[in-house]
A and B are shown apart, each in its own frame.
Chain A
Amino acid sequence: MSHHPVQPNWPARIGIALAALAALVFAIALAVTIGEMRIPLATAFQALGNGLFDLGYPVSAIQQGVIFDYRLSRALLAGLCGGALALSGAILQALLRNPLAEPYILGISAGASTGAVAVMILGFGGAALTVSGGAFLGSVAALLIVALLAAGAGGASDRVILAGVAGSQLFNAATATIVTTLASAEQARGVMFWLLGNFGGVRWPDVFVATPVALAGFAICMLHAKALDAFAFGADAAASLGVAVTRVRIVLFAVTAVMTATMVSIVGTIGFVGLVIPHAARFLVGPGHARLLPVCLVIGAIFMILADILSRILVPQQILPIGVVTALVGAPAFAIILYRARRPA
């Protein structure tokens, strides 16, 4: 009678995982070879061998440097960032029961950038606070403000989006105030470019920070996959199914805040990835979180790597902010979701 296999189909799962990994590697390979300096794929792999295992292939120092020091770290970070933001979107959509929830729309990214700018320009927190630390405090502050606003407005799930819009405006205004009044012209230009999302300054140490955050975040989310499913009919329904609602909410909101803050502090705010990818993933594998979350991670990563390639080649001799590219894809998708989510009369 049942159409669902009782036992998980391991060969199929492993096959899909391998295919996803291959797609990811292919996207990274594309990102490494495409650019102002075109590099053959073979050279790219040779440079990778040199960089990782010191194999001594004959690759010119310039190509070696471009591939290993710039493009590879950049592609990996783009992947981590896309995966983490997509994951955050999926988590927020489940917990808040709102298809429009994601870190950017809820103001978490805006809060993170205010925190980061406060540290960068005001020197807020002195030496004790890094840019990432500031971004984390900012994102938590934004999350709390949005939660309070939403609760004050009655707590319905559509109020959360309104509260997020208000929170975003507030934090964007704070960021703009800090930048326009206190930053030097040069600082201001740098910050504005960073705010729209920019993978240009990424180096290996950033990858070493982002990797554990994204992977640990993913692991924690996976441990809560069944609890997230149980939120389908609301918090009371989840609680009556045995889910420790308050604890799950705190843990997962914190994970979302940390992942968003880390990515924002490295590359700035990038919108719509957290919105679009979970919906695309749900379309592919359905709403169950045990499948949805890994698919979000992989598609988010591939999407962001491709978006970064686009940002580099769309306008010759210029690099578009990555946020512009994701918004070009994301804004129409947002409109479609909004249209489809309207309540039947």
Chain B
Amino acid sequence: MTLSARDVSWGASGRMIVGGVTLEAAPGKILGLIGPNGSGKSSLLRLLCRLRKVSSGVVELDGRDIGEVSRRELARRLAFVEQQATTEIQLSVCDVVRLGRTPHRGALASWNAADEQAVDAALARVGMSERHDQHWHTLSGGERQRVHIARALAQTPSELILDEPTNHLDIQHQLSILTLVRRLGVTCIVALHDLNLAALFCDEIALLHEGRLVASGTPETVLTEETIKRVFGVAVRIGASASGRRHIEYLVDPDCYGDAAP
């Protein structure tokens, strides 16, 4: 048992954004969170790491209500990677990763060998050791996301929450980021936009629609033609990928090709 949400709801200015969601991340597995734009994925992730307070329901970490855990203690267990967070401050790669040690250090503590080790190990795990001193602003989108993941790993979390980590990346970097996430061996909850990427990389999938959980389970049970038609409003044909996972083919109106139709 690790991170779980029980009947969690949240709203802003009178509008329900997350309504009665119950889910649980299996230890060491990857739970994908999918759903159309505005379905509440980002909000739900923020509730799971206590960046927003639930209106009702409870989020538990090892059976403890996270509302009762201090923010600092929580940050040593649970790390969050935002969508495309950036800064105008002139930071180097290791400056950013060092931030991950914040919850482990007292106000007056000086930097110690354990901190340094955690930073070096985190950079090695994301394959950015050689970029240690490079400036943040000179990194590509995919590299920045790697550094953010390294920063999260420097927190030495047992649970990692990622909000659309592949957004705005080209396909090579989308695949390399998610491959990296799979190899971490940390319990992950990842919001994803692309259904095929979710099918390829997630052990389990939770499907959100208008703030509510519509389906959850293995990719095979969640990603069906009927469910996708109902939630996303698109026609698909489900096949199998070369790796034996689900592959979603989008069906479009053949008329749109006009005379050029094959």
A interface residue numbers (CB < 8 A to B): 1-4, 6-8, 97, 99, 223-227, 229-230, 232-234, 236-237, 239-244, 282, 286-288, 341
B interface residue numbers (CB < 8 A to A): 46, 49-51, 70-76, 78-80, 82, 85-91, 94-96, 99-100, 102-103, 105, 107-108, 110-113, 116, 119-120, 129, 132-133, 155
> A229-B99, A287-B95 given as contacts; is B71 within 8 A of A242 (CB)?
yes
> A223-B107, A242-B72 given as contacts; is B99 within 8 A of A232 (CB)?
yes
B102 near A243 with CB under 8 A, answer: yes
| Interface residues of A, dominant DSSP | loop
The one of A8, A97, A227, A243 that contacts B87, using a Cβ cutoff of 8 Å:
A97
A223 near B108 with CB under 8 A, answer: yes
CB nearest neighbor in B for A2: B116
A236 near B82 with CB under 8 A, answer: yes
Q: Give the total number of A-B pairs whose CB atoms are below 8 A apart.
A: 96
Q: How far is the CA of A229 from the CA of B107 in the complex (A)?
A: 12
Chain A residues with CB below 8 A from B75, complex form: 240-242
Q: How far is the CA of A226 from the CA of B99 in the complex (A)?
A: 8
Q: How far is the CA of A242 from the CA of B72 in the complex (A)?
A: 4
B108 near A8 with CB under 8 A, answer: no
Q: A6-B116, A97-B88, A237-B80 are in contact. List 4 more A-B contacts (CB 8 A).
A: A233-B86, A241-B75, A287-B89, A287-B91
Chain A residues with CB below 8 A from B78, complex form: 240
The one of A225, A232, A236, A241 that contacts B46, using a Cβ cutoff of 8 Å:
A236
Q: How far is the CA of A243 from the CA of B116 in the complex (A)?
A: 21
Q: How far is the CA of A229 from the CA of B111 in the complex (A)?
A: 14
Give the shortest distance, in Å, between B80 (CB) and chain A (any CB).
4
Q: How far is the CA of A2 from the CA of B132 in the complex (A)?
A: 8
Give the shortest distance, in Å, between B139 (CB) and chain A (any CB).
14
> A1-B120, A1-B132, A233-B82 given as contacts; is B94 within 8 A of A8 (CB)?
no
Chain A residues with CB below 8 A from B73, complex form: 242
B132 near A3 with CB under 8 A, answer: yes
Q: How far is the CA of A227 from the CA of B46 in the complex (A)?
A: 20
